Amino acid sequence: MAEDQTLRRSLKTSREDEARPLKDFIARHCPEAPVGFLNKLLRKGFVLVDGAPGGEKTRLRAGQQVEIHLPAGAFLVAPNPEVPVRVVYEDDSIAVLEKPAGLVSEPGIGHKLDTLLNGLIARYGKAQDRIGPEHDYGMVHRLDRDTSGLMVIAKNVEAHERLSGQFRRHEAEKRYTALLVGRLPQESGQVSLPLGRVRRGGRAVGVAGAGEPQRALTRYRVLERFDGATLVEAQPQTGRWRQIRLHFRALGHPVAGDPDEGDAAANAQLSRAAGLGRMFLHAGALKFRHPETGRPLAFSLALPDELEKVLNRLRRARSLESHERRGL
C-alpha cells in the first residue's frame, strides 16, 4: 500500500445492520482498534456513509457503503511503546521475535492497547502502516497468549506474501516443547484430527470435528518422562488455532497448565509439586527461507527460566523416588 493512500476499510452493510448505530458497526468490524479511537474518527469526519461523513448518532440501512479513512500517520491499531518487543534477529525484510507468555499477539476483545502488535506498530511505524490491515500488519503467524517462543514478522508486503506462502504450504517448520499431563504410552506418534471453531458464550472455542473443521496433523516425540507428566517435542504439520493444545487434549494428555483446554486437578497438583504457574508450551525452534534471498534460516530459543525450574523440580522428585525404591 502506498504511503499516501489512507483508505483503510471499505465495508458493505447487510440486513442485520438495519438501524444499527454507525459507531457499533465500525467497532464490530474493526475489533483491533480502541473504541475511543474509532469514536474520534467519527467526530473528525473520517468515517463516510455512502460518501458523506457519518456521526455517532448515524443509523444504518442495508446496502450502504461505509468507508473508514485515516489521517496520515494514524493507525487502526494504536501504537504503544510500553509493550516490550524482544528482537532475536532483524534485517530490512523481516524480524524474528521472542514473545513472552502472557502477551496477546494482536488486539481483540479485552485487549486493545496491550498486545504485541501495538508494540510492533510503535517500533516499526511506517513500515507496519504500509503493510496495513489487509496484510495483517506483517504478522505471518501467531502464538496464543499463554505460549512463549519465536515468531517471525514481515516488514513489507512482498516479504509478507512470500513468508505467508511458506507457512500456508507447510514449508516453514515450527517445533514446540510441551509438558503433558500423564504418561504417553509410546515414544513417538502423531495426532490427525480435523479442528474447527464455534462460538460459545460470546467467545471462540476450538473444537474437534465441528465448526467447519479443517485437516490438522501434529507429530510428536517424547523427550523425558516424569511421575504424572511427559515432556514432548511437538511439530505441527498444519497451522490450526490451538492445534497442539486441542490435539493433546484429544489424546487424553492435555498440556500442563493450560487454563482452557487442560486438566484443572492435574494443573493444581503440578503447581503444588513443581511450582508450575503458567501453561507449559514453548515455541523453541523456527525454520524458514528468507523471503528475499531464499537462504534457509533457523532459530532456537531456550526454555524460559520458569519452565526450566519446573523441570528441575520434577527431576529432583524423580531422583528421590528412585532412591527410595532402591532403599537408598
Residue 136 pLDDT: 86
pLDDT at 111: 86
Q: Are strands 296-300 and 229-236 parallel, antiparallel or unpaired?
A: unpaired
Q: Which CATH superfamily is domain 77-169 in?
A: Pseudouridine synthase (3.30.2350.10)
| Residue 190: pLDDT over 80 | yes
Query: Under CATH, which number does the domain 170-328 receive?
Result: 3.30.2350.10
CATH of 7-69, one of 3.10.290.10, 3.40.50.720, 3.40.50.2300, 3.40.50.300: 3.10.290.10
Residue with cell 512463549: 148
Question: Would you call 257 exposed, middle or buried from its count of C-beta atoms within 10 A (0-12, 13-18, 19+)?
Answer: buried
Q: Choose the catalytic residue: 114, 129, 136, 144.
A: 144
Residue 131 has a CB neighbour count (10 Å cut-off) of: 22
Q: What is the pLDDT of residues 106-162, one digit of tens each?
A: 987 788 889 999 999 999 987 787 787 778 889 999 999 999 999 999 999 999 999
Are 88 and 129 in contact by the 8 Å Cβ rule? The answer is no
| Confidence check: pLDDT of 4 > 60 | no
For residues 217-242, average pLDDT: 96
What confidence tier does 323 reach under pLDDT thresholds 50, 70, 90? Answer: low
Query: Measured between alpha carbons, how far is 289 from 181 in angstroms, rounded to an integer?
Result: 35
147-161, 185-199, 265-279 — which is least confidently predicted?
185-199
What is the per-residue pLDDT for 7?
Answer: 54
- Please give the radius of gyration of the chain, using alpha carbons only, rounded to the nearest integer: 23
pLDDT at 75 over 80: no
State the CB neighbour count (10 A cutoff) for residue 174: 23
- Cα 268 to chain centroid distance, Å, stands at 25
pLDDT of residue 295: 97
Q: What does the alpha-carbon distance between residue 252 and residue 266 come to, in Å, rounded to a whole number?
A: 12
Cell output for 178: 510441551
Amino acid identity, residue 53? P
Question: How much is the pLDDT for 327?
Answer: 62
Q: Is the pLDDT of residue 16 over 80?
A: yes
Of 67-81, 97-111, 158-172, least confident by mean pLDDT is: 67-81
- Element (H or E) spanning 190, and its range? strand 188-192
- What residues contact 232, with CB distance under 8 A and at least 6 apart? 177, 178, 179, 180, 184, 220, 221, 222, 223
Q: What is the largest CA-CA distance in the chain?
A: 84
DSSP 60: -
Q: What is the pLDDT of residue 211?
A: 67
Whether 73 has a pLDDT exceeding 50, the answer reads yes
User: Position 67: which residue type?
Assistant: E
Q: Answer whether residue 181 shows pLDDT above 60.
A: yes
Instruction: Mention every residue, 6+ apart, whose C-beta is less than 8 A from residue 284.
Output: 149, 150, 175, 176, 177, 300, 301, 302, 303
Which residues, other chains included, contact 5 with Cβ-Cβ below 8 Å and sequence gap of 6+? none
What are the extents of the domains in the chain? 7-69, 77-169, 170-328
pLDDT of residue 43: 86
* Long-range Cβ pairs for the range 119-122 (8 Å, 24+): 119/80, 119/81, 119/82, 119/83, 119/84, 119/85, 120/85, 120/153, 121/75, 121/77, 121/78, 121/79, 121/80, 122/79, 122/80, 122/81, 122/83, 122/85
The yes-or-no verdict on residue 321 having pLDDT over 70 is: yes
pLDDT for residue 328 = 54
Domains 7-69 and 170-328 agree in fold: no
Residue 94: which pLDDT band, with cuts at 50, 70 and 90?
very high
Is-contact 195 240, C-beta < 8 A? Answer: yes
Q: Reply yes or no on whether the pLDDT at 1 is more than 70.
A: no
pLDDT at 153: 97
Asked about 258 being catalytic, the answer comes back as: no
The answer to whether the Cα torsion of 86, 89, 92, 93 is positive or negative is negative
